[in-house]
A and B are shown apart, each in its own frame.
Chain A
Amino acid sequence: MTSDKTFSRRAVIAGAGAVLAAPAVVKAQAQVLKIANLVPRSGFFAQAGQSMHRGALASPALLAELGYKVEIVHIDTESNADVARTQAERAINDGCHVITGAFDSGHTLAIAQVAEQRQIPFVVNVAAAPQITEQGYKYLVRNFQTGGQLVTNGLRLIKDVTDAKGIKLETAVFLHANDTFGTAQRGAMDAIWPRVNLPIKLVESIAYDPRAQDLSVEVTKIRSINPDLVMCVTRASDAIKMVRDMVRQRFQPKAIISPGSPGFYDEEFYQALGPLADFLLFGLPWVNPKSAMSQAFEKAFQKANPNNRFAPDGFNAGFTFEGFLIAAEGFKKAGTTNGPQLMEAIRGVNIAEHVMIGGPIQFDAKGQNVNIGSAMIQNIKRTPTVVFPSAVAVTEPVLPLPAWQGRS
């Protein structure tokens, strides 16, 4: 018996095409958004990466409560841009629909290239390098301030908070790490300082190696200048060294304020310095203590991480959560995981209720969130506490800096 069915070459090619396209069709119709969260959980940035990871562990419960269906894939970039690039490729091959991350600007740029080539949305949660949103990437949005915005907002907050307290600061020294972030902040400071008209004379900028064993010489140098204000761009380990050497050298400025950098709010900073960690100030985008979603997220965080305090992790965890929230909202709007359609929906989100301080999450044509806010935070009883602006503050700032000696 012979079959009367014949297969034309065209039919075979169409059939093969359908088989090959099937995973993409299935992917496009997925009911759950698969998000790859790439953060540096080991290596040089491990402390921040672990903090973000704790936020990632807490997020699914709250997202589910809010009606979003997401699956989060946790990936370690090992503080290495090459690993970040490779892992982004791998995550896409494994069927992830969106990438979030990646804390370090260099890692972020490496992932952005992959996302662009593969047409997969990339929601940047923390990374400040201006070029991230200046290079014309179509598959990227950033829910974080640029380095310039961090410094501008940080300096404005210095003026506002000193004006509010009636404190006069005449001279300042700027101390910064000589890594990518610190050098970018120095560039922003050089460009922005003359424009903000602060009534303070910037006497000197000092770059230091963040991998140095101590900052005794740097502090000796600052002590010899004796400024009223020390502005610094640090991370936790070098911030510890800086304060420790200031106390040992009995150097007491009127204020120590970071105009937009991490370091002062990490748990290791509080553990290492105890009461000496108190009263330092920093201007940063921060968790809104008065938002209902922040409070819900804090509860979810404590449940997922019972051994960690939310307040020191709030910055990293909050931005991590918001990265997922943006992706999930985009998915809800688009109703598909198809890259170009999902990206279009993500770029068009308008999320009024969220965790970090600021207006609704909305992106401009370059993919930059235009409504992200900053606050002045002060360490009070070893807890980062919002002290300015008053709309979101929970207590009054303490200025000038109380003496190092006699704290308990």
Chain B
Amino acid sequence: MLWSLYGNVLVQGILTGLVYGLMALGLSVIFGVVRVVNFAHGEFAVVAMYAAFVLFKQFGLDPFVSLLPIAAAFFVLGYGLQRTLINPFVSRPEHEQFILLVGLAIILVNGSLMVFGPDARSVNLPYSFDSWMIGEIIVDKVRVFAAIAALAVASLLFAFFRFTQTGVAIRACADNLVGAAVVGLDVKRLYALTFGLGMACVGAAGALMVTLTDATPMIAPAFTLLAFTIVIIGGMGSMAGAVVGGLLIGVVEAMASLVIAPSMKTMVSFGLLVLILALRPQGLLGRRA
């Protein structure tokens, strides 16, 4: 029946969109505070996918469990990267930041290729191929788990920024850097914490993504582009915007596949991007500069 077809596609779009949202959240957090655009975002996500793959193959660790140590490791990695490599570039022109991060992206992709080769690496969980039938709607178990985990990670991040002193301090840095420095906040440390948090999101998203799709070095640019599209639609620097943008892209792409043609879904999401840039340049939930 037609309604069940649309219902199935809508559910798939929502579930996939939530994971997309988590993927973009890290990019949004980093840009919102540090004002550095992480052009190696997708490449880091792929490294996280490989980390989840290795933990699964070597220790049988389910990616829904391994996302915790991976997120922690990525937090440390992000913290260290910000303090050593990124920080000197924060106040430099954007094109220098761009060159640095694109260089990093190239190293990550080719490093992955050297270590893991070009073949797709997959994680087959006992429930990877299971689904629930709800009436005529089929819901993939693994997509539901990934969406719930994505929501949980996003909620934790929101709570951190809303209810902890460090989170409030980071928001203060984002709102007024000079003011934050004047009242004695350690801006460099807070920047490093933010970069670490953003990278933890990427790590968690990568671990979730490997349950839905296979890890190959070549999907990294697609992830970066996807995250950029979502963040621009949602509003650069807006955490809620990243989640809303992810959901929107997930649903729009799924419905476009059905109504127009599957091969046109990327075109439709870029059409949406252009439309939002034209009507609301700051994004759906972004603030005017």
Assuming the contacts A42-B110, A220-B9, A224-B5, asked whether A178 and B119 have C-beta atoms less than 8 A apart, the reply is no
Q: Is the CB of A209 within 8 A of B262?
A: yes
A-contact 0/1 string along B196-222, CB 8 Å cutoff:
000000000000010011101111001
The 0/1 profile, CB within 8 Å of A marked 1, for residues 50-80 of chain B is 0000000000000000000000000000000
Contact A267 B5 (CB under 8 A): no
Q: Tally A residues with Cβ within 8 Å of B.
A: 42
Residues of chain B within 8 A (CB-CB) of A208 are 262-263
B166 within 8 A of A: no
Q: How far is the CB of B104 from chain A (nearest CB, A)?
A: 18
User: Are B120's CB and A236's CB within 8 A?
Assistant: yes
Task: Check A240 against B222 for contact (C-beta < 8 Å).
Answer: no
Tell me, yes or no, whether A272 is within 8 Å of chain B by CB: yes
What CA separation (Å) do A147 and B257 show in the bound complex?
27
Interface residue A192 (Cβ < 8 Å from any Cβ of B) = no
Interface residue SS majority, chain A = helix
| A272 adjacent to B120 (CB under 8 Å) | yes
| Cα distance A223–B119 in the bound complex, in angstroms | 28
Given contacts A237-B120, A247-B129, A248-B130, contact A207 B214 (CB under 8 A): no
Q: In the complex the two chains form, what is the Cα distance from A272 to B211 in whole Å?
A: 12
- Please tell me if B111 contacts chain A, counting CB pairs below 8 Å: no
Q: How far is the CA of A333 from the CA of B9 in the complex (A)?
A: 61
Find out whether the CB atom of B218 lies under 8 angstroms from the CB atom of A220.
no
Tell me, in angstroms, the Cα distance from A276 to B128 when the chains sit together: 12
Q: Is B87 interfacial (CB-CB < 8 Å)?
A: no
Q: Is the CB of B262 within 8 A of A218?
A: yes
B138, B216, B254: the one contacting A249 at CB < 8 Å is B138
Cβ contact of B5, chosen from A212, A220, A276, A404, cutoff 8 A:
A220
Taking a contact as CB atoms under 8 Å apart, the answer to whether B265 and A209 are in contact is yes
B214, A240: Cβ atoms under 8 Å? yes
With beta carbons under 8 angstroms apart, the residue of A43, A218, A250, A267 that contacts B257 is A218
B258: Cβ under 8 A from any A Cβ: yes
Stretch from A44-52, A57-65, A371-379 forming part of the interface with B: A44-52
Does A221 lie within 8 Å of B258, measured CB to CB? yes
The residue in chain A whose Cβ has the minimal distance to the Cβ of B139 is A248
Known: A207-B261, A209-B262, A224-B5. A217 touches B120 (CB 8 A): no
**A206 interfacial contact with B, CB 8 Å:** yes
Which chain B residues in 101-127 approach chain A with CB under 8 Å? 110, 113, 117-122, 124
A214 within 8 A of B: yes
A271 vs B121: C-alpha distance in the bound complex, in angstroms? 8
Chain B residues near A266: list those with CB within 8 A.
119
Contact pick for A240, options B113, B122, B261, CB 8 Å: B122
Q: Specify which chain A residues have a CB less than 8 angstroms from the CB of B8 in the assembled complex.
A: 220
* Residue count of chain B within 8 Å CB distance of chain A: 40
A249–B113 CA distance with the chains assembled, in angstroms = 32
Does A136 sit at the interface, judged by CB under 8 A?
no
User: Does A116 touch B at the CB level, under 8 Å?
Assistant: no
In the complex where A209-B262, A236-B120, A276-B129 touch, is A217 in contact with B9 (Cβ < 8 A)?
yes
Could you tell me if B258 and A268 are in contact, using CB atoms closer than 8 angstroms? no
Fill in one digit per residue for A170-181: 1 if any B CB lies within 8 Å of its CB, else 0. 000000001000
Contacts of B28 in A (CB 8 A): none
Any B CB within 8 A of the CB of A90: no
Bound form: Cα–Cα A268–B214 in Å: 10
1/0 per residue, CB under 8 A from A, across B81-114: the answer is: 0000000000000000000000000000010010
With A209-B266, A217-B258 known to touch, is A244 a contact of B128 (CB < 8 Å)? yes
Q: Which residues of A contact B38 (CB under 8 A)?
A: none
* Complex Cα gap A224–B138 (Å): 12
Asked if residues B118 and A248 are in contact (CB atoms below 8 Å), the reply is: no
Task: Specify which chain A residues have a CB less than 8 angstroms from the CB of B119 in the assembled complex.
Answer: 47, 50, 236, 266-268, 271
Q: Are B214 and A272 in contact (CB-based, < 8 A)?
A: yes
Once A213-B212, A240-B122, A272-B124 are accepted as A-B contacts, the answer to whether A46 and B113 lie under 8 Å apart by CB is yes
Decide: B213 and A213 in contact? CB cutoff 8 A: yes
* CB-based contact A50/B117 at 8 Å: yes
Which residues of the other chain, A, contact B9 by a CB distance below 8 angstroms? 217, 220
- From A43, A208, A266, A272, name the one whose CB has the most chain B CB atoms within 10 angstroms: A272
Minimum CB–CB distance from A231 to chain B (whole Å) comes to: 16
Nearest CB of chain B from residue A141's CB, rounded to whole Å: 28
B229 at the interface (CB under 8 A from A): no
Contact status B120-A214, CB under 8 Å: no
- With a 10 A CB-CB cut-off, give which of A212, A217, A272, A276 has the most chain B CB atoms: A217
A107 at interface, CB cutoff 8 A: no
**Bound-state Cα–Cα, A212 to B131, Å:** 21
Q: How far apart are B115's CB and chain A's nearest CB, in angstroms?
A: 13
In the bound complex, residues from chain A placing their C-beta under 8 Å from that of B194 are none
Instruction: Evaluate contact between B257 and A50: CB separation under 8 angstroms.
Output: no
Residues of A within 8 A of B265 (CB): 209, 212, 217
Contact yes or no, A217 B138, CB < 8 A: no
Set of chain A residues within 8 Å of B13, measured between Cβ atoms: 217
Check A85 for interface membership: any CB of B closer than 8 A.
Answer: no
Report how far A217 CA is from B250 CA in the complex, Å: 11
| B residues in contact with A209, CB < 8 Å | 262-263, 265-266
Question: Which of B113, B122, B216 has most chain A Cβ within 10 Å?
Answer: B122
Answer yes or no: B238 CB below 8 A from chain A CBs.
Answer: no
A44 cross-chain contacts in B, Cβ below 8 A:
218
Most buried by A among B13, B110, B118, B124: B118
Asked whether, in the complex, the Cβ of A217 is within 8 Å of the Cβ of B262, the reply is yes
Cross-chain contact A241 with B213 (CB below 8 angstroms): yes
Given contacts A47-B120, A240-B214, 15 further A-B contacts (CB under 8 A): A46-B118, A208-B263, A212-B262, A214-B212, A216-B16, A216-B254, A217-B262, A218-B262, A220-B8, A221-B258, A237-B214, A237-B216, A248-B129, A248-B142, A272-B122
Q: What are 18 inter-chain pairs, A to B, with CB distance below 8 A?
A: A47-B119, A50-B118, A50-B119, A211-B222, A213-B219, A213-B222, A216-B140, A217-B13, A240-B120, A244-B128, A248-B131, A248-B138, A249-B138, A249-B140, A268-B120, A271-B119, A271-B122, A272-B214
In the A-B complex, list the 7 residue pairs whose CB atoms are closest, starting with the nearest: A46-B118, A268-B119, A178-B263, A217-B257, A207-B263, A272-B122, A208-B262
A residues with CB within 8 A of B: 41-44, 46-47, 49-50, 178, 206-209, 211-218, 220-221, 224, 236-237, 240-241, 244, 247-250, 266-268, 271-274, 276, 404
